[in-house]
Amino acid sequence: MRLERYVEMLEEAWRERLKGREPAETLYTPISDFLGRGGKRLRPCLCLLACEFVGGDAEKALPTALSVELFHNFSLVHDDIEDGSVLRRNQPTLHIKYGLPIAVNAGDALYALCLETLCENERLLGVERAWRIFCEIAALGVVLAEGQALDMRFKQTKQMSIEEVLLLLRKKTGRLFAVSAACGAIAGGAPYELASLLGEAWESIGVAFQVRDDVLNLKGEERAYGKRIGEDISEGKPTLILVHCLQRCSQEEKQRILAAIGEYDAEKIADAVEIIEKHRSIEFAEKIADDFLHKGLETLKKLEGNESVKAEMEEFARFFVERVR
């Protein structure tokens, strides 16, 4: 299958990128540890799919796809530090396993490796396409930081509207999906309008993915999910589920939910989940996810490209967004 081939290409590419680099113990071993834990590889696979959708050669888009994956992992390392997370992909987060200084430096290095990898595009794609891809990823860093700032503001105030949550989701998750698709299309030689529309479709699908992932944090199994169930609550993440519930629950219930934010406490989290279920906040979030998925797929259907790849894209989107019910 196409996606299996992509994953094999990506695994070989990142290992080759890090091969023989020093210092190992305090930098490249932690980075290899983190990348070697797997993950879904959704974004780089999407990048390669987008390239082939517009008629391009996935091999030539591989540095772009790898850059997307390195960028994503840089953001995860830093998010885990800022959120105080203890598990990532069923293992201790880097700052827990190796200490805060090494984890911060590893995250910084992942971002630098992302940019370094993009330098290969000038040779493979030409200056114009290489520069467009570089500009997309450079702008992505700013948007991600803005989204994280919104996240941190909520943790201070515990106040946010549904509209602000959706803006945060677009900036922190949707935009990375959009850039993955757009950059893959650019690498494949697509005109700007097509690349932009493909990115627009996948921004919506990316928001749907994140909302469903937030549902999974409450309804999934810890071993399959890779993080502690209910940890989004203890970390005070501004999910649609949490914000919807806080807007509708009583003051007494709100205090019980807020009591679950902080140190992970299974009993307090279970109490908060009970309140969330009472106010049907999970159902509300699932409806939003369905709406964004539908919007993204409708945009995708209108685009001209390789029809068999488009079908795989649609299947790819549905599988990951609809994986929790």
Give the C-alpha separation, 83 to 233, whole Å.
Answer: 11
Taking a C-beta distance cutoff of 8 angstroms, is the pair 35, 52 a contact? Answer: no
CATH number of the domain at 114, please: 1.10.600.10
CA–chain centroid gap for 10, Å, is: 17
Give the pLDDT band of residue 324 (cuts 50, 70, 90). Answer: very low
Give the C-alpha separation, 204 to 289, whole Å.
Answer: 9
**Mind listing the pLDDT tens digit for each residue in 105-150?**
999 999 999 999 999 999 999 999 999 999 999 999 999 999 999 9
Residue reference for tokens 């908060």: 272
Of 240, 238, 237, nearest in space to 284 by CA: 240
Taking a C-beta distance cutoff of 8 angstroms, is the pair 272, 260 a contact? Answer: yes
Here the tokens at position 39 are 């993950």
Give the C-alpha separation, 114 to 91, whole Å.
Answer: 24
**Mind listing the pLDDT tens digit for each residue in 229-270?**
899 999 999 999 999 999 999 999 999 999 999 989 999 999
Give the C-alpha separation, 198 to 180, whole Å.
Answer: 10
Taking a C-beta distance cutoff of 8 angstroms, is the pair 102, 93 a contact? Answer: no
Structural domain span for residue 27: 2-321
Amino acid at position 26, single letter: T
User: Left, alpha or beta for 253 (phi > 0: left; psi -120 to 50: alpha)?
Assistant: alpha
**Mind listing the pLDDT tens digit for each residue in 52-102?**
999 999 999 999 999 999 999 999 999 999 989 999 998 999 999 999 999
Number of domains observed in the structure of the chain: 1
Helical packing angle, 58-83 and 127-157, nearest 10°:
20
